[in-house]
Chain A
Amino acid sequence: MNTASHALDHHDGHHPTGLLRWLTTTNHKDIGTMYLTFSLLMFFVGGAMILGVRAELFQPGLQLMKPEFFNQLIGVHALVMIFAALMPAATGFANWMIPLMIGAPDMALPRLNNWGFWLLPPAALLLTMPFFLALFGIGDGAVATGWTLYAPLSVQGGIGVDFAIFSIHILGISSIMGSINIIATILNMRAPGMTLMKMPLFCWGWLVTAVLLIITLPVLAGGVTMLLTDRHFGTHFFNAAGGGDPILFQHLFWFFGHPEVYILLLPVWGLMPHVLSTFTRKPVYGHDAQVYSFIAIGVLGLIVWAHHFLTSGLPIPALLYFMYSTMSISLPLAVLFFCWIATMWRGAMSFETPMLFALGFIVLFGIAGLTGLVLADVAADAQYHHSYFVVAHFHYALFAGGIMGVMTGVYYWLPKWTGHMYSEKLGKLHFWLTVISFNFTFMPQFFLGLAGMPRRIPDYALQFAEFNAISTVGAFALGLSQLIFAYNVWRCVKGGDKATDRVWEGTAGLEWELSSPPPHHSWETQPVIKTS
């Protein structure tokens, strides 16, 4: 921290430095930085796990690990990537950018903000600790049920399940606190004149996300609590012999699990128009239409959950309902795609790294949407369910949609956060390696799934060998390419060409009126949005 911002901090009385600064900070920028750093770290942890899986799948047969360990890796990979990498990254964005965008001096509840972040490391530790405990002969490793924790398997599982349950409880509390903070900030602290319909789309995406989190996470917390009491306290929520029903767990899980997909994607959809408008030097097309689409997707996302288990024996009317309601989500999503393309239409486009990632996102996320329509089809789903087709589909949604979307945001805002430009050359190299190796990894999995390869199995029939080998090579290339990203970010934090306040030529919005990096305390006097 430089001396100029120290001078502004006099109202704090004393100002801890070093580790204590990060432990006790209530500053939204510090907390945003911690969220993003934690997220990047866990991104590599989750990535290392799945490279173990891909290495095992390089050849048919079992070479590297026991099936039990394979099962642990896939489930913890998913939980880490979703709860410890993607969600904290989005929360980090929110912490950094929402106050800057709406002209607020900080988040509404700064102490809650600090607590929300510091719950994450212990939760991540709980999730991964059983791996290490098993090395000392305690328990049989981490949760091995897949991230969905389906009963009755999870009722029978080892201590890894208990660790996962408590980890989910803590992560859930952290996310709910973060969401409450974001809603309070957005509703109470906007600059005078910034009506909700004038609010930047990134804030809108996050507002809908936060509402979804508050609605759905408690249901998951309830579901895993029932799991816990089934395991240890003699209840039978999911035990048919005791009058329960294992399918009920799937309902509870996916009532959270499906909106979770939009929780991960809405912040990215919110940031896309900012990036597209900047690098086409045109205003965002269809601001209001995108707001209504966010809300429509949020509402529809709450009522389509059973399409994740269409093959579980639901009656025909329920199948039809969940099929049509799921497909109807493609309508507001198509509005978003239309607005993104219309924003670019006849714009003066330039292709800096964030724009490349945004374009890659649009194309690859489009593939996720279209394959999702195929999966939603009840008749087709009978073939595709639980196959590698599903794995490929949701990685197009969550890697190309989620993670590449987050990288779009990092490259876009990094100069604003650090005051330095990242290396454009390394950024472009990172983009091309990522997008090519991503497709090498996941495109073959569509064909594997169509050919009948089931997911979550450490071995496979010989005819799947070539596509699996390609996918594994792609996965290692994809994983290693991310080191360029980490290096580029590190380099940019340390120094580099000075970034201007506006950073990019075509930027618009309050956040670009502040210096780069913004002062430790920004918008101490609220800006006023002119009503024209």
Chain B
Amino acid sequence: MREAALNPPPRRHGRLVVRLLLIAAAFFAFGFALVPLYDTLCRAVGFNGKTLKDAIETKDIPPSAVNYARSLGVQFTATLMPGLPWEIRPLEPSIELHPGELRTTRFLVRNLSDKTIVGQAVPSVSPTVAARHFRKLDCFCFKQQTLAPGESREMALTFVIDGDIGEEVSELTLAYAFFPAPNPN
């Protein structure tokens, strides 16, 4: 009787233990599943000012979509992250445009070092609700940029702001952070 109480047969707790281990494993996996989930969620609702990843085509923005009755102010800023000895500035710090209007703007980037360096720009839009209405046709942020020693280059961004952007937004800012490319191609 006492032996049985002290040394319960090993199977007795086995099923419960396996289930609890499975729960722990499932939540370990959940942590990793959060990576794509978080990215998708951020792009869908514009958390962190993440803009949509995919470029759109010119045919997606018919000229008829331009809303001339409304004007928006757009500001451009750019910062360099540590480890990137470059210089960057928007050639047009701020512009006025109509929703639905196709625009191109340029940033001047210069490599101040005597080495060839690869950089990657990461955009962010404020207010965050405007992020998913900021649609890019072409952007230097779509791929890594390589600058030779001392080279300077004008980098272009072609974009349109969706006509259905909320009335509460009258001014938005697109900020680029230029990082040293982690894995230069």
Task: Decide whether A and B assemble into one complex.
Answer: yes
Which residues of A are in contact with B by a Cβ distance under 8 Å? 11, 105-106, 108-109, 176, 179-180, 183-184, 187-188, 214-223, 226, 234, 236-237, 239-242, 245, 247-248, 251-252, 255, 313-315, 318, 521, 524-526
Say whether B59 faces chain A, with CB atoms less than 8 Å apart.
Answer: no
Given A11-B3, A234-B183, A315-B47: A214 touches B27 (CB 8 Å cut-off): yes
Say whether B69 faces chain A, with CB atoms less than 8 Å apart.
Answer: no
Cβ < 8 Å to A, chain B residues 12-70: 12-13, 16-17, 20-21, 23-32, 34-35, 38-39, 42, 45-49
Query: Which A-chain residue is minimally distant from B183 (CB atoms)?
Result: A234
Given A245-B42, A315-B47: A251 touches B34 (CB 8 Å cut-off): yes
Beta-carbon contact of B122 and A240 below 8 Å? yes
Say whether B160 faces chain A, with CB atoms less than 8 Å apart.
Answer: no
Contact of B24 among A109, A176, A236, A313 (CB under 8 A): A176
| Assembly CA distance A222 to B31 (angstroms) | 6
| Assembly CA distance A23 to B42 (angstroms) | 50
**Could you tell me the distance in whole angstroms from the C-beta of B185 to the nearest C-beta in chain A?**
12
Which B residues touch A236, using CB under 8 A? 182
Beta-carbon contact of A239 and B182 below 8 Å? yes
B106-120 interface bits toward A, Cβ cutoff 8 Å, 1 = contact, 0 = none:
000000000000001
Which A residues touch B28, using CB under 8 A? 218-219, 221-222
Which B residues touch A318, using CB under 8 A? 47
Beta-carbon contact of B24 and A214 below 8 Å? yes
Beta-carbon contact of B38 and A184 below 8 Å? no
List 29 interface pairs A-B (beta carbons < 8 Å), by A numbering.
A11-B2, A11-B3, A108-B12, A109-B17, A176-B24, A180-B21, A183-B16, A214-B24, A218-B25, A218-B27, A218-B28, A219-B27, A219-B31, A221-B31, A222-B29, A226-B31, A234-B183, A237-B35, A239-B179, A240-B177, A241-B179, A242-B120, A248-B35, A252-B34, A315-B46, A315-B47, A315-B128, A524-B5, A524-B6
Beta-carbon contact of A245 and B5 below 8 Å? no
Query: Which A-chain residue is minimally distant from B7 (CB atoms)?
Result: A11
Beta-carbon contact of B24 and A248 below 8 Å? no
Which residues of B are in contact with A by a Cβ distance under 8 Å? 1-3, 5-6, 8, 12-13, 16-17, 20-21, 23-32, 34-35, 38-39, 42, 45-49, 81, 120, 122, 128-129, 177, 179-183
| Assembly CA distance A245 to B123 (angstroms) | 12
| Assembly CA distance A245 to B179 (angstroms) | 13
Beta-carbon contact of A11 and B6 below 8 Å? yes
Contact of B20 among A180, A219, A521, A524 (CB under 8 A): A180
Query: Which A-chain residue is minimally distant from B35 (CB atoms)?
Result: A237
Contact of A105 among B6, B24, B25, B81 (CB under 8 A): B6
Top-6 shortest CB links A-B = A222-B31, A241-B179, A218-B28, A218-B27, A219-B31, A242-B182
**Could you tell me the distance in whole angstroms from the C-beta of B132 to the nearest C-beta in chain A?**
11
Query: Which A-chain residue is minimally distant from B53 (CB atoms)?
Result: A243
| Assembly CA distance A183 to B120 (angstroms) | 49
Which A residues touch B46, using CB under 8 A? 315
Beta-carbon contact of A313 and B128 below 8 Å? yes
Contact of A215 among B21, B27, B47 (CB under 8 A): B27
Which B residues touch A106, using CB under 8 A? 6
Query: Which A-chain residue is minimally distant from B178 (CB atoms)?
Result: A241
Contact of A214 among B5, B23, B45 (CB under 8 A): B23
Indicate the member of B39, B48, B179, B183 with the most A CB atoms within 10 Å: B48
Beta-carbon contact of A242 and B48 below 8 Å? no
| Assembly CA distance A106 to B2 (angstroms) | 12
Beta-carbon contact of A314 and B30 below 8 Å? no
Q: Known pairs A220-B31, A223-B31, A242-B183; list 13 more (Cβ under 8 Å).
A: A109-B13, A184-B17, A188-B16, A214-B24, A218-B25, A219-B30, A222-B30, A226-B32, A242-B120, A245-B38, A245-B39, A248-B34, A315-B45
**Could you tell me the distance in whole angstroms from the C-beta of B18 to the nearest C-beta in chain A?**
10
Query: Which B-chain residue is minimally distant from A215 (CB atoms)?
Result: B27
Beta-carbon contact of B24 and A184 below 8 Å? no
| Assembly CA distance A221 to B32 (angstroms) | 10
| Assembly CA distance A236 to B120 (angstroms) | 13
**Could you tell me the distance in whole angstroms from the C-beta of B14 to the nearest C-beta in chain A?**
10
Beta-carbon contact of B16 and A187 below 8 Å? yes
| Assembly CA distance A313 to B127 (angstroms) | 10
Query: Which B-chain residue is minimally distant from A238 (CB atoms)?
Result: B35
Which B residues touch A242, using CB under 8 A? 120, 182-183
Which A residues touch B30, using CB under 8 A? 218-219, 222
| Assembly CA distance A21 to B170 (angstroms) | 74
Given A245-B42, A315-B46: A252 touches B20 (CB 8 Å cut-off): no
**Could you tell me the distance in whole angstroms from the C-beta of B29 to the nearest C-beta in chain A?**
8
Query: Which A-chain residue is minimally distant from B39 (CB atoms)?
Result: A245
| Assembly CA distance A108 to B39 (angstroms) | 42
Beta-carbon contact of B1 and A241 below 8 Å? no
Given A222-B31, A252-B31, A526-B5: A240 touches B38 (CB 8 Å cut-off): no
| Assembly CA distance A237 to B36 (angstroms) | 10
Which A residues touch B2, using CB under 8 A? 11, 524-525
Indicate the member of B2, B20, B49 with the most A CB atoms within 10 Å: B20
Indicate the member of B3, B17, B180 with the most A CB atoms within 10 Å: B17
| Assembly CA distance A241 to B42 (angstroms) | 16
| Assembly CA distance A108 to B2 (angstroms) | 15
**Could you tell me the distance in whole angstroms from the C-beta of B92 to the nearest C-beta in chain A?**
24
| Assembly CA distance A184 to B15 (angstroms) | 10
Which B residues touch A226, using CB under 8 A? 31-32, 35
| Assembly CA distance A242 to B39 (angstroms) | 13
| Assembly CA distance A226 to B31 (angstroms) | 10
Indicate the member of A216, A218, A220 with the most B CB atoms within 10 Å: A218
